[in-house]
Structure 1
Amino acid sequence: MLRLTVGAAALLTAMPAQAQPLEPSSRWQVDFGETECLAIRKYGEGAEATHLVIKPYATGDRFEIALIDDRVTGDTLSQGGTMRVGDDDIALPGIRFSDDEAGRTVTTWFGDDLSALSGAEQVDLELGEGERSLKLTQATAVVDALQECRTVLADRYNMSGNVVTTPPQGNVDVLRDEDYPLLALDEDQESVFRALLLLDEEGNVAECSLLSFAGDALFVARSCGLIRERARFEPAIGPDGTAVRSAFVTPVVQWRLGKEISNQTFRDFERRDRAIRERSRGPGDSEGVLLRPPGERPR
């Protein structure tokens, strides 16, 4: 793993009194990982510390921006949220997953265009009842590094279409009702999602990223972990007949105990999913679910 450290520069411009953004307590760390790209920064100290994490997907422009707290900051939920950068209020779907036993909360917003953060001096994130404001600094350098990492990651998993001659074969039919005993007690709980999987040469799931979702936050938050653990594919094959790394966009995954997904939940999912597919449609993508590599604009 290649790790870059970006120094924090002091801002000389006075902030408005009402903003009160959290000040960083560490430098940026940008990790060029084998399965993901991450930018991480700490805010505050001790029990009140928060970590900001930015994760671009290996394809397209989409990204996740998350706050990780070593304390419970609210109930688990899934709903629309907001990311404010400068004068722009950007509506983003979000998930807050609170683990009472571990005393930890992860709140994630799912964005469409990483470049929205480039040049930003502050980001304000809202989901549910609270809003968090964080001072960024060095955002352009961080976004540029993440874009470079994303291109490297896309090449590693052969997303250009020139390496994979036979796509991977398999499915993600690995989620069971007994995985969610608390949800199974409430017949009104339901979820729908689609994910991007990165597969290694043996057909194992190296990484799972949510592309679009609607419904119960607990199911959605746990599903990618279970897919990584259980799903197995016949690996993709390259021109020389050997197995190669690849990417796989899942079909729509639905869960509801003993019932069909409600029309409203599925409409919410379809609205998000359609927007992603329209933005991400690439050459030769007849179904609109094979996402384009970084750098290729939608046609």
Structure 2
Amino acid sequence: MYLFAILLASSTIGDAVQPELHPYGHPSLEYATKSCILSREYQSDSKLEKATLVFQPLPTFSGEPVLAYVIRPIKDKPLPDTGAYQVTFSSSDDVAKGTYKYWRVANANKEFLLFSIGDEAYHALLKSTSMAVRFGQSTQLSFDLTGTDKAFSALATCKDDLLKSFGVDAAQQHRISTPAVAFGGSPMSWYSPDDYPLDALRESLSGTAVVLYKIGVNGKVKDCQTVSSSGLPSIDAITCSVALQRGRYKPALDKDGTAIETYDAVRINWQIPH
């Protein structure tokens, strides 16, 4: 399973490792139009530090990493725009690591940290009683995950229901033994600066579209629909148009090695060409 995870931290995170945050209240699962959102409130024993932990899966069976956000009030010295992060789990030696992105929204008094968690790390998360996220050499959040198994089970059910709403046969997709793999290494390789919509280019507008590809047994993208809009109709439209023209995968296979139709949710980030 791949998902979005959002950490909404309401306390100041200093240079030292923070006390472990413990859940309070009950988990909340929201069946939104195009996503499932699982959230739970957390706080330290002193109740001085609080956070909300949110998970939002993408409707996909391959390729897309877990996205996670830490959102907190603007109080601390800004972190670098990018830097190293590491996520560790109590259940295993699995580690999710890479480069985070940091930005601020001053009028909302919020700052954001964006990072990713892969599929193996997610399975480690499901078996863990705690999870720690470190940004750079100092900033760390630690979460007590005890008692979350039923909530994650409900989230998986919600994801299957979401897939059905997109016309996906979830049971068939669970038969996949070898996921489809995009030619070129990533669907982003199918897009070029020449594809940038002229209206968005004239207005210097950018955006990110999340789309759901339907991949045929021959590996071609045979259908595409917008899961999360970029906010610009022309960008949403060209995202699917290019995929239908150029999108190619090595087909997904079942356990017998037979090609099977599958789906992939992909995030395409459109930035003004330089």
TM-score calculated relative to the size of structure 2 = 0.55
1:54 aligns with 2:55: yes
Query: d(CA) in 1 for partners of 2:54 and 2:164?
Result: 23
Offset, 1:36: 0.7
Asked if 1 retains the 8 angstrom alpha-carbon contact of 2:59 and 2:264, the reply is: no
Partner of 1:107: 113
Query: d(CA) in 2 for partners of 1:110 and 1:227?
Result: 25
1:151 aligns with 2:160: yes
Partner of 1:85: 89
1:291 aligns with 2:264: yes
1:125 aligns with 2:133: yes
Partner of 1:245: none
Residue identity opposite 1:69 in structure 2: R
1:256-280 CA-partner distances (Å, limit 9, x unpaired): xxxxxxxxxxxxxxxxxxxxx89xx
Offset, 1:227: 5.2
Within the candidate set 230, 233, 236, 1:231 is matched to: 236
Query: d(CA) in 2 for partners of 1:250 and 1:20?
Result: 51
Partner of 2:196: 173
Percent identity of the aligned residues?
14
1:148-190 CA-partner distances (Å, limit 9, x unpaired): 111111121123499xxxxxxxx8835648347xxxxxxxxxx
Partner of 2:21: 22
RMSD: 4.5
Asked if 2 retains the 8 angstrom alpha-carbon contact of 1:50 and 1:67, the reply is: no
Offset, 1:21: 0.7
Residues 235 and 57 of structure 1, relative CA distance in 2, 3 Å threshold: closer
1:196-236 CA-partner distances (Å, limit 9, x unpaired): 4159xxx983416xxxxxxxxxxxxxxxx445795237999
Query: d(CA) in 1 for partners of 2:211 and 2:60?
Result: 11
Structure 2: which 5+ residue stretches go unaligned?
A: 1-16, 173-190, 214-223, 254-258, 266-274
SS of the residue corresponding to residue 142 of structure 1 reads helix
Offset, 1:20: 3.0
1:233-252 CA-partner distances (Å, limit 9, x unpaired): 7999xxxxxxxxxxx79989
Residue identity opposite 2:151 in structure 1: V
1:27-46 CA-partner distances (Å, limit 9, x unpaired): 22122222111111222399
Query: d(CA) in 2 for partners of 1:116 and 1:197?
Result: 27
Residue identity opposite 2:54 in structure 1: V
Offset, 1:107: 2.4
Offset, 1:125: 0.8
Asked if 1 retains the 8 angstrom alpha-carbon contact of 2:67 and 2:116, the reply is: yes
Asked if 1 retains the 8 angstrom alpha-carbon contact of 2:89 and 2:131, the reply is: yes
Query: d(CA) in 2 for partners of 1:33 and 1:69?
Result: 24
Greater relative contact order, per chain length (Cα 8 Å cut-off, separation 6+): 2
Asked if 1 retains the 8 angstrom alpha-carbon contact of 2:87 and 2:133, the reply is: yes
Query: d(CA) in 1 for partners of 2:245 and 2:43?
Result: 38
Query: d(CA) in 2 for partners of 1:38 and 1:50?
Result: 16
Residue identity opposite 2:101 in structure 1: I
SS of the residue corresponding to residue 98 of structure 1 reads strand
TM-score calculated relative to the size of structure 1 = 0.51
Query: d(CA) in 2 for partners of 1:249 and 1:148?
Result: 30
SS of the residue corresponding to residue 153 of structure 1 reads helix
1:124-156 CA-partner distances (Å, limit 9, x unpaired): 012234111111222222221221111111121
Count of equivalent residues: 197
Query: d(CA) in 2 for partners of 1:154 and 1:60?
Result: 10
Partner of 2:9: none
Query: d(CA) in 2 for partners of 1:195 and 1:76?
Result: 26
Asked if 1 retains the 8 angstrom alpha-carbon contact of 2:21 and 2:50, the reply is: no
Query: d(CA) in 2 for partners of 1:26 and 1:251?
Result: 48
Partner of 2:226: 205
SS of the residue corresponding to residue 60 of structure 2 reads coil
Asked if 1 retains the 8 angstrom alpha-carbon contact of 2:96 and 2:116, the reply is: no
Offset, 1:123: 0.8
Residue identity opposite 2:196 in structure 1: D
Query: d(CA) in 2 for partners of 1:88 and 1:36?
Result: 30
Query: d(CA) in 2 for partners of 1:145 and 1:250?
Result: 37
1:139 aligns with 2:142: no
Residues 194 and 231 of structure 1, relative CA distance in 2, 3 Å threshold: closer
